[in-house]
Amino acid sequence: MIPNQWYAILRSQDVRTDRPTGARRLGKELVAWRNRAGRVVLQDARCPHKGASLARGRLYGDSIGCPYHDFRFGADGACKLAPCLGPGARIPASMRIDTHPVREQNGLVWMWWGQDLDVLPEVQVPPEVADKPALYATSTWSQPVHYTRYIESLLDFYHVPVVHRDHWFNYADYMGWGGTLKKLGLDGRRRYIAMTKVEKSRLEVDGTTLRHYFELCQHDDPTNRNFLRVTFTFPGMVHIHALPFDVTIWMTPIDDNNTQVLFRWYEDERMKNVLRFPAARRIVPRLALFAQKRVQEVQDMNVVKSIEPRATGRGVNRFVAADELNAKYVVMRDQLKKEAAAAMAGERPPAALVADGAAAAPAE
């Protein structure tokens, strides 16, 4: 895990005003809730009294109550009331929980994991995601894999025609990616499986955002090809743009062995000409997410769960030229971890942050 980063931990819709929401992220048991003003509060979930989970508690406007003895904690983490002592009683100052910096942006809840800084950097969301006006649906699930291996499964997109075949649902991919109008899409499977070669590869580095432009093609048929752009932003966001679809995936460690996934599927812009109402157009992204979780995700994880070692790093993989994006990710991740460790040891702002709180490009 890379310190001094904003991590996407929940969808905004997951945090409510009527009950708390529990989540395990970055090795911590957390509880999220909204105060009277609707602002998200994110805190450690364990009550300091006897360790009960506040995620099972109740909300009282601007405080959260423990389900065991109803000790109540405010947004600042201090205990405001211990019912067993009565109103106005002196409560030990140590009876408090940690409150974590949190931001709500792009329909997600973000947690700062790292140094306590007077000025925190902005949440890094590249323009192809931040400025995307398209309608979308977002789903969430977890997988028992290290988050670096999950990220790698998205960075080397040329695995798609190898892994995603033979299930009945994959025929939708065959027709969308490889099928020709002349053959009414019936040649899609043959052409899809044949698109295994990476050509016209180009990598751009923009601060902590990497963009890989390339084409997947058939080595003996240059007309059978598809353009893709894979954008990665640290610590764990991947946006994939292809002609048939656009998706964004945020990956956050639950712990060293499990990863939480926030998967967003955007509508096909062409659907606006077919379906007028947004509610109807949102059905297609929701169906795509349903299939992603139950078909493509299963196919991917059948491979990823078996990978050893469980986490990636320098010297772990033997890359080829097509792995330019993956190789750069491994190098920059190692660099960012070292910068953050040095900054935290010296209690100084990390090198990748400038004084006004904006993100600067890491040194090459």
pLDDT-based confidence at 165, cuts 50/70/90?
Answer: confident
For the chain, what's the residue count? 364
Q: Is 98 helix (H, G, I), strand (E, B) or coil?
A: coil
pLDDT at residue number 166: 78
pLDDT-based confidence at 357, cuts 50/70/90?
Answer: very low
Whole-model pTM?
A: 0.90
Cβ atoms of residues 362 and 235 within 8 Å: no
Q: How far is CA 118 from CA 42, 155, 355, 357, 361, in A?
A: 18, 34, 10, 9, 20
pLDDT at residue number 280: 76
Higher pLDDT, residue 248 or 279: 248
- Average pLDDT, integer, range 256-282: 83
pLDDT-based confidence at 360, cuts 50/70/90?
Answer: very low
Amino acid (one-letter) located at 14: D
Q: What is the CA radius of gyration of the chain?
A: 23
Cβ atoms of residues 266 and 132 within 8 Å: yes
pLDDT at residue number 361: 35
Residue 190 has pLDDT above 90, yes or no: no
Lowest mean pLDDT among 286-290, 314-318, 347-351: 347-351
Q: CA-to-CA distance for 59 and 66, rounded, in angstroms? A: 9
Lowest mean pLDDT among 78-87, 119-128, 136-145, 264-273: 264-273
Largest separation between any pair of C-alpha atoms in the chain? 81
- Average pLDDT, integer, range 176-200: 77
pLDDT-based confidence at 6, cuts 50/70/90?
Answer: very high
Q: How far is CA 324 from CA 171, 331, 349, in A?
A: 30, 11, 30
pLDDT at residue number 363: 32
